[in-house]
Amino acid sequence: MKGNSKSKKFTQPIIKISIAAIALSMIVMIISISIVSGFQREIRNKVIGFGGHIQITKYDSQNSFEGSPIEMNQPFYPGMDSVAGIKQIQIFATKPGIIKTNNDIYGVVVKGIGSDFDWTFFKDKLKKGEPLKIQKDVSTNEIVISQTIANKMKIDVDEKLFLYFIQSDGQLRPKDFVVKGIYQSGLEQFDNMFVITDISHIQKRNNWSSNQVGGFEVIIDDYSQLDRLAEFVYNHIGYELNSTTIIDRNPEIFHWLELQDLNVVIIILLMILVAVINIISALLILILERTSTIGILKILGLSNWRVRKVFLYNALHLILYGLTIGNIIGIGLCLIQLKFGVIKLPEESYYISEVPIEMSISTILLLNFGTLFICISMLIIPSYVITKISPVKAIRFD
């Protein structure tokens, strides 16, 4: 009896540690995958906000800011937005420019937009002012610039600035604008570069007609459908035009985001390894503690497999207990961050102001079932120890 008492004093902490390890592993996995998914979504949406999911341009544009014009009257415009999965198609044009104040000059890319522009992305990013109100056949002299440019040029909302459009022959054509809004996306390479105004100014400086544009941006509902819809767009725009996805235009950013998936995989594998090692330890301790019981069960006629199942069911109970605790804490912490944004980040370093969260029920369920399956599978081998226990020696075991 004293031996059993000492055994229990030793066993109980091991079991608690195993449950805690499984719970901690699940907490880390849920939080890691939620943060990485949220980070990928935020960065991806910011990049897409500056150019749409798919761009349609002339073949000679070669991803430059000075491409050949396209006639706006196209079979796919504006009817393409009626296709399932495509949210909107809108016109655009870009042109290099230089902002000049009394003391400074600053090189920018001027993005011209039309009345069909979707302001959803920039409305959330506006720090001051408001979006442009662009109407057909009515040109506006207002402009939206980034907070980065505003700080460098010491310009505020409702103030004037001079913008020199750089012509293909190197000439500069000036135009004065009034700052209507100031945005900040957090992506420095875009904030340092883009200003937004009426496309008519680019049409005029390029000697285009009002029916000519630099290209079309296609916005889709679901990023996961990008490849399928990109192929659809490419097949329906004719042979004179080319379409590129946001991944084609920004490969370095999206390859970097893909690397985050590798980090998550490594974390998940390490956490599952921790959970497996701890639950195996707990199972072996349980077998050691119940050696005499195993001997009695064998004498009563139970097969090795039936005895093993008793211990496997016991281990399953511990795993489920740990997973339940881990899910409650992990999901709870994610919901708190999602709702209140408790943990902040320096935007200049991480491109976002707070830790992003994106939770997927299917992903969390997959994590749980995957962890459960792997743990149970790995327990089958150590449970084989039971078959080596002699009933007679087991009964004598103290």
pLDDT of residue 1: 39
- Whether 220 is covered by a domain: the verdict is no
pTM: 0.83
Residue 73 shares a structural domain with residue 209: yes
The closest of 270, 365, 262 to 323, measured between CA atoms, is 365
* End-of-domain residue from the set 183, 213, 243: 213
User: Where are the alpha helices (H) located in 73-146, listed in sequence order?
Assistant: 120-125
Q: What is the pLDDT of residues 181-216, one digit of tens each?
A: 999 998 888 999 999 999 999 999 999 998 999 999
Domain extent, residue 138, equals: 69-213
Query: Residues 9, 117: one domain?
Result: no
Indicate whether 117 and 207 sit together in one domain.
yes
CB 42 within 8 A of CB 80: no
Q: What is the pLDDT along the chain (398 residues), one digit of tens a residue?
A: 344 544 455 567 778 888 999 999 999 999 999 999 999 999 999 999 999 999 999 887 655 677 789 999 999 998 898 899 999 999 999 999 999 887 789 999 999 999 999 999 998 899 999 999 998 888 899 999 999 999 999 999 999 999 999 888 878 899 999 999 999 998 888 999 999 999 999 999 999 998 999 999 999 999 999 999 999 999 999 888 999 999 999 999 999 988 888 989 999 999 999 999 888 888 887 777 777 776 777 677 767 777 778 878 888 898 999 999 999 999 999 999 999 989 998 887 788 889 999 999 999 999 999 999 998 888 887 777 766 666 655 565 55
Q: Are 113 and 193 in the same domain?
A: yes
Which pLDDT score, from 0 to 100, does residue 126 have? 94
Domain boundary among 184, 213, 242: 213
**Residue 132 to residue 179: CA distance in whole angstroms:** 10
State the DSSP string of 321-386. HHHHHHHHHHHHHHHHHHHH--SB--HHHHSSSB------HHHHHHHHHHHHHHHHHHHTTGGGGG
What is the count of structural domains for the chain? 2
Please write the tens of the pLDDT for every residue from 96-129: 999 988 778 999 999 999 999 999 999 889 999 9
282 with 359, same domain? yes
Beta strands in the chain, from DSSP E residues, in sequence order: 54-58, 70-71, 86-100, 105-113, 126-129, 142-146, 160-166, 172-183, 194-198, 212-213, 215-220, 241-245
In a domain, 231, yes or no: no
The amino acid that residue 362 corresponds to is S
Structure tokens at 88: 């909107």
Same domain? 39 vs 86 = no
Whether residue 228 is contained in a domain is answered as no
**One-letter amino acid identity for 378?**
M
Gap between the Cα atoms of 83 and 235, Å rounded: 13
Please tell me whether residues 155 and 25 are part of one structural domain.
no
Residue 145 and residue 179 share a domain: yes
225 domain-assigned: no
Pair type for strands 54-58 and 212-213: unpaired
pLDDT of the residue at 2: 43
The verdict on 206 and 327 lying in the same domain is no
Q: Are residues 379 and 296 in the same domain?
A: yes
Pairwise CA distance, residues 278 & 326, whole Å: 15
Inside any domain, residue 242: no
Domain termination site, one of 188, 213, 238 = 213
Is residue 58 situated within a structural domain?
no
Q: Before 78, cis peptide (omega within 30)?
A: yes
* Whether residue 311 sits in one domain with residue 200: no
